[in-house]
Amino acid sequence: MNTLALIPARMGSSRFPGKPMATILGKPMIGHVYERVKQSPLLTLTAVATCDQEIYDYIESIGGVAVMTSNTHERASDRCAEALLKLEKANNTSYDIVVMVQGDEPMTHPDMIGEAVRPMIDDPSIRVVNLLGQIKDAAEFEDRNCIKVVWDLNHDALYFSREPIPTRSKAPRVPMGKQVCIIPFRRDFLLEYSSLATTPLEIAESVDMMRVLEHGMKVRMVPTAHDTQAVDTPEDLKRVESMMRTMASAS
């Protein structure tokens, strides 16, 4: 498999402006994500897709690969589709699988790439995968920045929401899972996704994968063995920095 990892990142986050360049242990967050993802032995190439010169220049300065994209994209997946075509043209190649890793996942473990990609290698019918994490407590369950997901008996997603799902009244006696934004697409499906019309629930929830579900297609959920913490707010940044400092001192 010729596998490309793309890390979409932009400075204009409404919840945390400038987030990708916010420092964790003295290094911009996007640098942590890039370096961790790049360690996966399954990847042919790792690149950052951005519409901001500051991010582009930083990635180039550390010897990384960056791609400038349009500043009009509302969804990270659409940004990755544009970057995919630019990289294929520049490198005169074609990729089989494109792994989207959000730029606010600085605790990504390289093995998580393998967790997400291997089901696609084993089953050609799977076109897109999301890693599935466990919700730790009631506060995370109620947090709108945590994207909750419910899934069927085949481990295909039924719905993604920023609201607490499934029902509060049965928690914690029912499975409560969250989307971890390490998302491999088959190359042609990513381009198909980008050509699909945006959908009402995609817009309402601000979740890329709702476009897939609303168009009647499947998203396979794959549990991860690794604990991770996305950064959506300055408070999350402090929490992640503390966690990473503890991990560094333990090693």
Domains of the chain: 3-250 (3.90.550.10)
Segment holding 24, helix H or strand E: strand 23-24
Measured between alpha carbons, how far is 76 from 102 in angstroms, rounded to an integer? 8
Q: Whats the size of the chain, residue-wise? A: 251
Distance, in Å, from the CA atom of 229 to the CA atom of 105, rounded to the nearest integer, reads: 7
Per-residue confidence (pLDDT) for residue 172, from 0 to 100: 61
What pLDDT does residue 113 have?
Answer: 97
Q: What is the pLDDT of residue 170?
A: 66
Output the pLDDT for position 216. 98
* H-helix segments, 12-132: 29-38, 53-61, 76-91, 110-122
Q: Is the pLDDT of residue 140 over 70?
A: yes
Count Cβ atoms below 10 Å from residue 234 Cβ, excluding itself: 12
Instruction: Report how far residue 191's alpha carbon sits from residue 185's, in angstroms, rounded to the nearest whole number.
Output: 9
Residue in the block written with tokens 């911009």 = 28
Q: Residue 249's pLDDT is what?
A: 76
What average pLDDT does range 54-71 have in this prediction?
Answer: 97
In the block, residue with structure tokens 């990708």: 20
Summarize pLDDT for 14-57 with one digit per residue, the tens.
778 999 999 999 999 999 999 999 999 999 999 999 999 999 99
How does DSSP classify residue 50?
A: E
The values of phi and psi at residue 95, to 5°, are -100, 150
Residue 209 has pLDDT above 90, yes or no: yes
- pLDDT single digits (tens) 217-242: 999 999 999 988 889 999 999 999 99
Query: What's the pLDDT score for residue 251?
Result: 66
Helix or strand or coil: residue 237? helix
pLDDT, position 211? 98
Please, what sign has the CA dihedral across residues 237, 8, 108, 120?
positive
| Positive or negative: CA dihedral 110, 59, 28, 162 | negative
| Measured CA angle at 32 (ends 38, 66), to 5 deg | 60
What share of the chain in percent tops pLDDT 90? 85
Residue 103 pLDDT > 70, yes or no?
A: yes
Q: What is the pLDDT of residues 154-194, one digit of tens each?
A: 999 999 999 999 987 765 667 789 999 999 999 999 999 99
What confidence score (pLDDT) does residue 15 get?
A: 77
Mean pLDDT of 208-224: 98
Q: Which position has the higher pLDDT, 249 or 131?
A: 131
Cβ neighbours, 10 Å, residue 203 = 13
